[in-house]
Structure 1
Amino acid sequence: MSKNYLITGACRGIGRGLSRLLLQKGHRVFLLDNNDVEIEQMKHQIPKWLSNLTFSSDAQSRYEILRADMSRKEDIEMAARSASAFFDGSLDVLVNNAANTSGAHGPGLESEDFLAVWENSVQVNLTGSALLSRACLPMLKRQPPRRPHGGNIVMVSSTRAYQSEPNSEAYASTKAGLLGLSHAMACSLADDGIKVNAILPGWINVVHESKEGDEQGMKWEDGLSEDDQRWHFSGRVGKVEDILKAVEYFSDSDSFITGEELKVDGGVTRRMTYPE
């Protein structure tokens, strides 16, 4: 059955892959992003992805793309209003995926740029997710008799919430913050029938999910070595399809699961590593 999805950071990386796969499965998707180049590329690509499907005749009515900066309260409120109009006030799944990733590998604590990256990471990764979730509540709450169950909020966190590399304070802190936000919201919104869960991706190779990837004809496995694949207990690096399965798992309207975390990392966080 077709569902209504709102995805942030939807025109690049994991968000783009999720949007593509959900649209190809017949769902309706409202895409938010702040990168003008990738937004234009998505407008060009989506008709191609849907052209051979049985519902291609009404494919254009199944999605909308909107530019929105998740660090701006005004953009977030505007996006929620636009999504409500598109979905006729009923949203099944909100995927808070947008993130400032510049804090994943620097700058260091002593850098002059640290504070600026820290503040933007908090604003986009954490505050933006909280504010958009709040703005979408009227669409997510139970709507009897039309919808006896509430909707779902999925936070895209990261295994970096539990593991770190040097100079990753901004990214790790905000991704860990999403876990606390998830279980707190699961508690606060339970009476409205809204379930909130978090996905923690590990290495999900999505370099090809971009304008550059399209232009170069890149595939998922490009740039990956045999050692990269073997490093995972699963025997391979992650694909966006793996994240889709997790999103779908949490998207069941009658699910018993809320306030939980699901690592999608091929077992890497269970690997004991010693100095060589």
Structure 2
Amino acid sequence: MSGAQPLKILITGGARGIGRGLFRHFLRAGHSVYVLDSNTTELEHVRKTAEAWTTSSSPSVWKASLCDLRDRSNIKTAVEDVKRTFDGKLDVLINNAMATEGVGAGRPMEDDSDEIMDDWDTKIAVGLTAPYLLGRLCVPLLKAGSSAPGSPGTIINISSTRAYQAEDNHEAYSAAKAGILGLTQSMSVSLGHRHKIRVNAILPGWIHVMNERAEADGSSAAWEEGLTQEDADWHPAGRVGKVDDIAKAVEYLIGSGFVTGQEVVVDGGVGRKMVYPEE
């Protein structure tokens, strides 16, 4: 999007992982970004570091707010603040957040405890219900946006290759990520026909994001820290994925006014090792 007009972008899960990388990428490009996250430690840290990501040549507005995406009233309050912050306009909504931790996570589905169902409820709420509600509430803002010539705003949902290729004991995660694909298709038809709002999904493969967090910043960890040559060799592309790979896919979907209802897979090839992502 070199030379494009500044955009107003909302990113969920923007304090760490892929979301933080997208936050930095778009601030550095001169766009205005509003991020939501439920992790208070990471959120406070990203507030301290984000100022260094802005450019003096292009004035931008940014805000990082605490929001529990399991709480529908929290989501409604957040959207009202986005509306005030961006003067009623939004160009891009990126539904990136996903609960990747919690009691019950990774337990076999035969487990008869309440914790495993609590984990299910959390992942479905954050990974599927919240994107649906955010999409609904942001329609008036997106209608007023202009992410591409002659086009209103656009929605990008972050799914996962795990929607199609899971591993043992991650039913809730895979179900939410597969559900977001169905939601993307449905929303693209409904919002496209009525408002010309485009809706697409990105399916990341193994995107290494262990450096996208406060702890890594404190130790000045490089992106490749924790990776091995074997990790790279598992991928026909010859390496593990980076946040920049996702940013390029996001830019493509923002700028491609004829693309909607599509699934863009960002993966270095089918490997033998699955890594639990941290959006």
TM-score of the aligned structures, taking structure 2 as reference length:
0.90
What is the distance in 2 between the residues matched to 1:201 and 1:142? 29
Unaligned runs of 5+ in 1: 272-276
What is the distance in 2 between the residues matched to 1:71 and 1:37? 18
Query: Does residue 1:11 correspond to 2:10, yes or no?
Result: no
Which residue in the other structure is 2:189 paired with?
187
1:199-230 Cα distance to aligned partner (Å, 9 max, x none) = 00110001010010100111111111111112
Which residue in the other structure is 1:201 paired with?
204
Mapping 1:6-155, distance limit 5 Å: 6-50=10-54, 53-55=55-57, 58=59, 62-102=61-101, 106-111=106-111, 112=113, 113-141=115-143, 148-155=150-157
Judge which range, 7-16 or 102-111, deviates more: 102-111
Residue identity in the other structure for 2:134: L
Aligned to 1:189, the other structure's residue is in SS state helix
What is the distance in 1 between the residues matched to 2:87 and 2:27? 18
The alpha carbon displacement at 1:88 in A equals: 0.9
Which residue in the other structure is 1:274 paired with?
none
Aligned to 1:139, the other structure's residue is in SS state helix
Of 2, 20, 23, 2:6 maps to: 2
What is the distance in 1 between the residues matched to 2:222 and 2:6? 28
Which residue in the other structure is 1:231 paired with?
234
Residue identity in the other structure for 2:45: Q
Residue identity in the other structure for 1:110: E
Which residue in the other structure is 2:277 paired with?
none
What is the distance in 2 between the residues matched to 1:66 and 1:207? 22
Residue identity in the other structure for 1:10: G
- The 8 Å contact of residues 142 and 148 in structure 1, kept in 2 or not, is answered as no
What is the distance in 2 between the residues matched to 1:107 and 1:95? 29
The alpha carbon displacement at 1:110 in A equals: 2.3
Kindly tell me the number of residue pairs found equivalent between the two proteins: 262
Unaligned runs of 5+ in 2: 273-279
What is the distance in 2 between the residues matched to 1:143 and 1:215? 37
Where has structure 1 moved over 4 Å in runs of 4 or more?
none
Which residue in the other structure is 2:218 paired with?
215
The alpha carbon displacement at 1:231 in A equals: 1.1
The alpha carbon displacement at 1:102 in A equals: 3.2
What is the distance in 2 between the residues matched to 1:118 and 1:105? 8
What is the distance in 2 between the residues matched to 1:181 and 1:233? 31
- The 8 Å contact of residues 37 and 65 in structure 2, kept in 1 or not, is answered as yes
Mapping 1:253-272, distance limit 5 Å: 255-268=257-270
The alpha carbon displacement at 1:142 in A equals: 5.1
What is the distance in 2 between the residues matched to 1:81 and 1:165? 39
Aligned to 1:251, the other structure's residue is in SS state helix
Aligned to 1:45, the other structure's residue is in SS state helix
Which residue in the other structure is 2:275 paired with?
none
